[in-house]
Amino acid sequence: MATDKDTTTAHPVPAGVRALSASVTALADRPLFALDAATTRDTIQSLAVLEAKVASFKLAVLAHAEEVQVGAETGCTSTGVWAANATRSQKNVSAAQVRLATALESRWHRLRDALAAGVVNADQVRVVVNALKDLPDDLDKKLLDQAEEALVAYAVEFDPTELRHLGAHILTLIAPQVGEEIDRKRLEAAEAKATQKRRFTLSFDGHGTAHGRFTIPEVQAKMLQKLLHGFAAPGHVNCTPASDDPEGGKREWVKGRPSAQKLGEAFCELIENYPRNNAPKLGRTDGTFITTTTFDLLTTALGTATLDDGTPMAAAQAMRLACEARIIPVVLGGNGEVLHQGRARRRFTAAQTYAMHARDKSCTAKGCDWPPGLCHAHHDTLFSQGGLTDIEDGRLLCPHHHARAHDPAYEMKVHADNKVTFHRRT
């Protein structure tokens, strides 16, 4: 039979919770202006201890709620779901709290008692439990107890971030011979998994900007981060021209860590300054960009230029990059390199290949868009049949179409637009 009687007032736990809530409510009405700095510091620390004690008691009650299945009467699928509905919380957060509460009550008693005493806080507790959970399942119980005891002691001194790092290597700290072998196997497995997950995607939006995503192992990511921080460090990229000096003669220091924009600028500078002699070969070239423009435009920095794949750029930028040896300009009469060598050599020179990059911009097979750097230089008239190693007799073909060009089963036809098609011979 239903009753209006409050069944919780007779129990000391809900009564104590109500009294604590009333005390906190009363504190909210007290003015703070009379608190000096020292007292304020002490109060904040005392509140942190109180918060840990309240968190400990809440976890204890959640563990009891799981034991008595508080959600059963309302048909909830779990205690976490009931708690989320009852407290207007996220279900995944409530479920995680119930799991943590159960773990503390059933296994990690030292950690539970430290939280109840206010020695550690709730964030540290979650870090320690996760670290202990990651230890091998077959680990000796004595070592497991030592690990818990050590992490509780570390929590007195270290914050959650530092504690997470210590937790990842706790066995090495308490039992070096055991921990180092486990760490080695764990690192090898993690590195192998990270290697398999390596990805890089790059897309161009058609408005002069490219967008990319990548996934790389942590070690290489740290190396990249350090390189970018070097370019973005204060006094280098991480400074801006003074407002009264648009030419950048005077510099103003920019405080704080490098922003995302500064790191983006640093990334561009890293790409532009990568040594060409260290770049892998792309066909007969070394990964250098080639731009086509006229001599007048290059020297006056007016007008536009075109990269070897057809991408347009301002002549001013082409001139800047040419000065920094990042781009080779293919200019009529610009560098005087010999592009015609008849039958003196069988293979096209790098200079001739650069010229074909600038002219063809991609594989010349109709419908193929392989970029010039991934293509081969091919003789239209085979060298063995009297062909000349001149750019007029050469073209860019991707590896697939280059093989077709040398396959006697196919005939290659050159069209008026310098594109080629292949047909199987009959």
pLDDT in tens, 346-398: 577 777 888 888 888 889 999 998 888 888 888 888 765 667 777 788 889 98
Q: Does the structure show a pLDDT above 60 at 29?
A: yes
Q: What is the mean pLDDT of the chain?
A: 78
What percent of the chain is predicted at pLDDT more than 90?
30
Distance CA 146, CA 295 (A): 75
Q: Are residues 146 and 229 both part of a single domain?
A: no
Question: For residues 176 and 278, what is the distance between their CA atoms, to the nearest angstrom?
Answer: 41
Whether 318 maps to a domain, the answer reads: no
Q: List, in sequence order, every residue forming a beta bridge with 305; answer none if it has no partner.
A: 313
**Between vectors from CA 224 to CA 223 and to CA 226, what angle results, nearest 5°?**
65
Report pLDDT for 264.
Answer: 87
How many Å apart are CA 418 and CA 414, to the nearest integer? 6
Specify whether 113 is located in the same domain as 258: no
> What's phi and psi for 313, nearest 5 deg?
-155, 155
Do 67 and 124 fall into the same domain?
A: yes
* Residue found by looking up tokens 């090898």 in the block: 188
**Residues 238 and 107 both lie in one domain:** no
Residue 33 belongs to a domain = no
- Reference 396, options 292, 283, 280; nearest CA is 283
Q: What is the CATH number of the domain that holds 418?
A: 1.10.30
Give pLDDT, residue 145.
92
Average pLDDT of span 113-134 = 93
Residues 158 and 247 both lie in one domain = no
* Predicted pLDDT of residue 258: 73
Burial of 424 (0-12, 13-18, 19+ CB in 10 A): exposed
pLDDT at site 335: 46
Q: Examine the fold and report which residue of 194, 229, 251 is the final residue of a domain before the chain moves on.
A: 194
Q: Please say which residue of 273, 296, 312 terminates a domain.
A: 273
Check whether 149 has a pLDDT greater than 90. Answer: yes
Rounded distance between C-alpha atoms, residue 116 and residue 108, angstroms: 12
180-185 mean pLDDT: 78
**Is 183 found in the same domain as 42?**
yes
The answer to whether residue 257 sits within a structural domain is yes
Q: What is the mean pLDDT of residues 47-69?
A: 93
- pLDDT for 248 equals 47
Pair 167, 92 in one domain: yes
Q: Is residue 25 part of a domain?
A: no
pLDDT, one tens digit per residue, over 90-115 is 999 999 999 999 999 999 999 999 99
- The bridge status of strand 289-292 relative to strand 327-330 is parallel
Question: What is the distance in angstroms between the CA of the first residue and the CA of the last residue of the chain?
Answer: 96
In a domain, 324, yes or no: no
Question: What pTM did the predictor assign?
Answer: 0.52
Cβ(358)–Cβ(330) under 8 Å?
yes
Within a domain: residue 100?
yes
**How do residues 191-234 score in pLDDT, each as one tens digit?**
888 888 889 998 988 888 889 999 988 888 888 888 888 777 65
What total of structural domains would you count in the chain?
A: 3
Same structural domain, 86 and 129: yes
Torsion 373-378-383-386 (CA) sign: negative
Task: Name the residue with higher pLDDT: 88 or 189.
Answer: 88
Q: Which residue has the higher pLDDT, 300 or 392?
A: 392
- Same domain (yes/no): 190, 43: yes
* Together in a domain, 66 and 138: yes
**188 and 45 housed in the same domain:** yes
Structure tokens at 365: 């097979």
Tokens 């594109």 belong to residue: 419
Q: What is the mean pLDDT of residues 331-335?
A: 44
For 88: left if phi > 0, alpha if psi spans -120 to 50, otherwise beta; the answer is: left
In this structure, the answer to whether residues 216 and 166 fall within a common structural domain is no
CB 126 within 8 A of CB 90: no
Give the pLDDT confidence score for residue 230 in this predicted structure: 77
Last-in-domain residue among 219, 239, 273: 273
The answer as to whether 79 is a domain residue is yes
Domain that holds residue 252: 209-273
